[in-house]
Amino acid sequence: MHVGLIGAGAIGKQVLAYFDDRPDDTVTLLVREGRASPGGRTGVTESLADFLARRPDIVVEAAGQRVVAELVEPILAAGIPVIICSTGAFADGGLLARLTRCAKEAKTELKIASGAVAGLDYVRIAALLPDVQIRYSSRKPVAAWRRELESHKLDPDGLVEPVTLFEGSPGEAAQLYPRNLNAALTVALAAAPAPVTVRVIADPEASGNCHEIDVSSRLGSAHMKFMNAPDPENPKTSLITAFSVIRLIEDYRSRPA
């Protein structure tokens, strides 16, 4: 399999490491001009035209919201399926509609990685009901929110109780934390058009990245909690996020020809 990859940050490096151990697979990495390139068997290009000319079987976007808006449409238009990691880009509902339409016209697929959370099937079902209430909470160690705490005039090293840094809509969360609240938009996309409340919590007792989804409706109630190990490259990113991408790639590989 030939995997195209945009972005070599925390998620991208895990994807690269996975495929580096698989000599029958190849990876082409699209990087911005002047960015350092990885070694190994990975091919590197700074040109979208060259990237498309190499015809990857599937492309992974792991480079941020701006890249989703700027680069994903021409990739889909070329008939290449795309896996999206930076779901925060879809706080702009028009962008999701445009990319979905493009994928349909090109007879290809736009996939959204589940990332750090699961249980989205339950969210989709409950969202059918008018009385549903859905809340997503991101609870991470103080180290993940040091800069944000300092901007609130709080001493990260002296924190003894959890602090709620934000409570509001998924769209607001995506704008305030464009690199760290993709899971909130993933939940919101599953729940649409039902509203979702988002909380961002810095917790000195948290040992990892904790994602909680609370759903209440006449069907019942659910509390889902996922305690994920942080990525060693970036404590704000859950290590499982990269593997949710790898799972989608492997699912694509296993399809009948």
Give me the active site residues, please: 211
Residue 12 to residues 64, 103, 160, 171, Cα–Cα distance (Å)? 11, 23, 34, 25
First to last CA, the chain: 13
Q: How many residues does the structure list for the chain? A: 257
